[in-house]
Amino acid sequence: MGPETYTEKWLLQQIDSTLAFYYPTCIDEENGGYHHSFYDDGELRSDTTKHLVGTSRFIYNFSIGAILGRGEFCKDAAEHGLRFLQEYHQDKVNGGYFWSLDGQEVTVDKKYAYGHAFVLLAASKAYEAGIEWARDVVESVYQVLEEHFWETPYQLYADELTADWSEMSEYRGQNANMHMCEAMMAAYEATSDRKYLERAYEIADAVTGRLAAQTKGLTWEHYTPDWQPDWTFVETEESKQEFRPHGFVPGHSIEWSKLLLMLDRHISEPWMLDRAVHLYQEGYQKGADTEYGGIIYSISADKIMMDTDKYYWVQAEIFGASALLAAKLGNPAYWQRYEAMLDYCSDNFIDQEHGGGWFNMLFRDNLRQSPIKSEKAKADYHPIANYYETLRAMGAV
């Protein structure tokens, strides 16, 4: 049994409509790179911020479009962003990539593992899409990560350094490592170099094994410099809160479930499926909103509902993980969950009125919070990534 409503054809249509919402308006002809901030109807906002994660996610999205043959514009749009990434986000003095720009001017020069994970992901998919020179970007960002972020005793990446690499923050977080695992798998799939796959394996085992064992079976977000759970950490800097959320985030446990199943395609060991099922079930059971539908954002250390807003990316991860589990286990219940989640997303998150894209955030009762569809780092990467991984699980790619 496979999906009855949200089939290969539907998934490809959604990728097309999402890309069409952003392109060609997102192409910044004046400064290079992309415009990142859009209202619901596709009108550009006046915000000229260019975020490293947003730039990288647009490159990823257009690369996926090129890989799937969704139009000749996709490869050109991806390469357009990659050139900007190398010309303006890249620190040509110290190496690595700046976090944020205004137009072409650096506004935040710190170096974050989270941002570098998305550079690696973007470059890997760009290379897979046929942009040959992206292979050099893949290797160079990997070397930066090895030299400055990798902590061998813990088999994990540190989180934040100053522009010249002279000072490292004491903060450690699972979020950057989760996306680094994803990026390393993408680098392996693009290049066939096993060093990337081995690194993805190490990260996955560390986070879903050693760390999760310390934190009640779910993926806690925040850690001390020696990778002990930091139960009291709260990010006070608003610009970082999106990437350092408070509490347990069910969506991250579900996202890890998906990543373990992706890793299982290349290195299949029993613990991967066991942990994938556990993290999926825990994340869903603790996060599912039985009254209004969807998955809430966060729960407390005692696993009590805390932030009950609905974030677009959490809903995208649950349909993707459901599809991968359905394909792996042959269990129709997971296809039913996949269809049910996409029913919810179609009713509440996917913008039917304006022809494409997902709303960013809803209140618990699914009412809109803002007329802004996308800003800073969103770019609808999570839906496109999960459409793509679902197509792979179906054997359509």
The residues annotated as belonging to the active site are 252, 382
Contact 283, 355 (CB under 8 A): no
Which residues, 6 or more positions from 251, have their beta carbon under 8 angstroms from its beta carbon?
283, 287, 295, 297, 311, 313, 314, 317, 318
Tokens encoding 61: 């999205």
Burial 155-174 (b: 16+ CB within 10 A, else e): bbbbbbbebebeebeebbbb
Cα–Cα distances (Å) from 84 to 28, 58, 87, 124, in that order, read 10, 12, 5, 16
Pure H helices in 229-269: 238-241, 250-264
Burial 139-154 (b: 16+ CB within 10 A, else e): bbbbebbeebbbeeeb
